[in-house]
Amino acid sequence: MSVADVQKQKSHDLGEEQSIWFKLTPLLKGSNPMQVVMHMCEKYGGVIPINLKDQKLWFMSDVEHFRRVLVTNADNYTKYFDGIRPIFGDSMITVDGNLWQNIRTPQQPAFHPKAFDNYFPFLVEAINAKCDRFSELAESGETVEMVEETWTLAADMVCRALFDRKMPFNPHFVFKAVKTYTDVSSHKSIRLGRQSGELKDVSEVDPAKAVDTWLSVPEMVLGEDPLTTREHTLMAMLMKAKDDENIPDFDEKQVIDELKQYLWAGTETTALTLAWTFYIASQHEDVREKILAEAEEVYGGREPTIEDIQKLTYTKNVAQETLRMFPPIWALIRVAQEDDVIEGHEIKAGDKMVMCTYAAHHSSKYWNNPEEFDPDRFSPDRMKRRVKYSYLPFGAGKRSCIGGQFSFLEICLALPTLLKRFQPEYIGDPIQLNATVTLTPKGGLPFRITERKS
């Protein structure tokens, strides 16, 4: 039996009623669920108890409570990923304790800034391939879904740079398949269909087949021939850990699970941030022109180097401000292992802590004019005055995202390169948000691409 076949046995929790993501859906319905969340936080304060049948949730929006759960008493709170383990498996993103440390340590060197030189040419290759795709779209004039376009770009960058392989799968199909699963709004239909003995389509892709499709992807990547003989890639580090008898936790199944983590979670933040920055650039001409002017000043008409990209401070500020306004991870969920007390509230073992990073990112307690897009918030002087833990796009504490800086490199390279050649135009209705496992644009971000005249 293959690793993928074994993993399919875990797909039983697809649409499970016990999933927190499923139970939060009534709260997050409507055209602007985040508006409902903000109203709750303003009316009821920074810690809100919510009873959901046999489970107790605490909805949190105060930075001091974030600090308590994520940093000062972090050992008491483990990560929550029930309901989406078929997507990530038992990877670094879903495990805790010593196992998490044993899994993370062999991978850490792959995300040290010194390793980025090794990845840079392959990021450029992926972006150039996307330029070819945009050129075709500009010629045809067809409407495209920007989140899908940026997801396929991010997946290509991960495969080429980190895994030393071309994508051996159709990224557009895989994107649709996994979105079917992670769109929690469809889980009730999935669950009811399972209870009645049948699974019916709830979107473009059958949800049961969506999981099967996803589970086949990592082994396809492993089976692809390497592009080069590079020794210092994430893939090489994963395989070395697998062969190291001193790391018994790292077997072939663990390699497969880590690939799943990077191929989805490692692309999601980059993809959504890039899609939203294209939306921002289409709505704010001054932002687009400043990005292009900075790139022109730093490297002009020649191919950029990694040193050039590191000098694009305004572009990075745009990415950071986009992550503030549209954080892909709109909430961090932890599970209390032992009793605790937060702001006089008695937390019991087993309680779920839903830390709403979106609420903190949009709170006037921590930000001036929080609904205004202002990249200069991330200038050095203003960052010194920022309230700690009021900005958590990649989490905080020891469990913060391992690939945060790598994501910024991807974005700051791709954004000016694509905007220099193309002018993406948003042609959809006023945006609405969809708060599922990640914060996504409801109905997508439809764009039309045109080539810029030099």
**How confident is the model over 404-452, as pLDDT tens digits?**
899 999 999 999 999 999 999 999 999 999 888 889 998 899 999 999 9
Residue 395 is part of which domain span? 3-451
Most confident of 87-96, 223-232, 271-280: 271-280
Residue 196 has pLDDT above 70, yes or no: no
How many folded domains does the chain comprise?
Answer: 1
CA gyration radius, the chain: 22
Per-residue confidence band for 197, with pLDDT thresholds at 50, 70 and 90: very low
Q: CA torsion angle for 73, 75, 80, 82 (degrees, to 10)?
A: -150
Query: CB–CB of 271/149 below 8 Å?
Result: no
pLDDT at residue number 203: 42
Task: Label each residue of 245-311 as H, E or C.
Answer: CCCCCCCHHHHHHHHHHHHHHHHHHHHHHHHHHHHHHHHCHHHHHHHHHHHHHHHCCCCCCHHHHHC
Nearest CA among 297, 296, 280 for reference residue 417: 296
What pLDDT, on a 0 to 100 scale, did the predictor assign at position 11? 43
Which range has the worst mean pLDDT, 6-15, 297-306, 357-366, 378-387? Answer: 6-15
pLDDT at 9: 44
Span 237-278, pLDDT tens digits: 999 999 998 888 899 999 999 998 888 888 988 999 999 999
Q: Torsion over CA of 38, 42, 47 and 49, rounded to 10 degrees?
A: -80
Across 123-132, 383-392, 436-445, the highest mean pLDDT is recorded for 123-132
Determine the Cα–Cα distance for residues 415 and 402; give it in Å rounded to an integer.
22
Spacing of C-alpha 450 from chain mean position: 28
In tens, the pLDDT along 171-185 reads 888 887 777 766 655
| Mean pLDDT (the chain, rounded) | 86
Cα–Cα distance for residue pair 63/33, rounded to 1 Å: 21
- The CATH number covering residue 278 comes to 1.10.630.10
Work out the number of other CB atoms within 10 angstroms of the CB of residue 72: 11
Q: What's the DSSP call for residue 160?
A: I
Q: Of the ranges 24-33, 346-355, 368-377, which one carries the lowest mean pLDDT score?
A: 24-33
Please tell me whether residue 137 adopts helix, strand or coil conformation.
Answer: helix
Place of tokens 């071309």: 166
Looking at residue 171, its pLDDT comes to 86
- Average pLDDT estimate for 142-150: 95
C-beta of residue 346 within 8 angstroms of C-beta of residue 301: no
User: Environment class of residue 358 by beta-carbon count within 10 Å: exposed (0-12), middle (13-18) or buried (19+)?
Assistant: buried
pLDDT value at residue 397 = 81
Q: What's at 33, amino acid-wise?
A: P
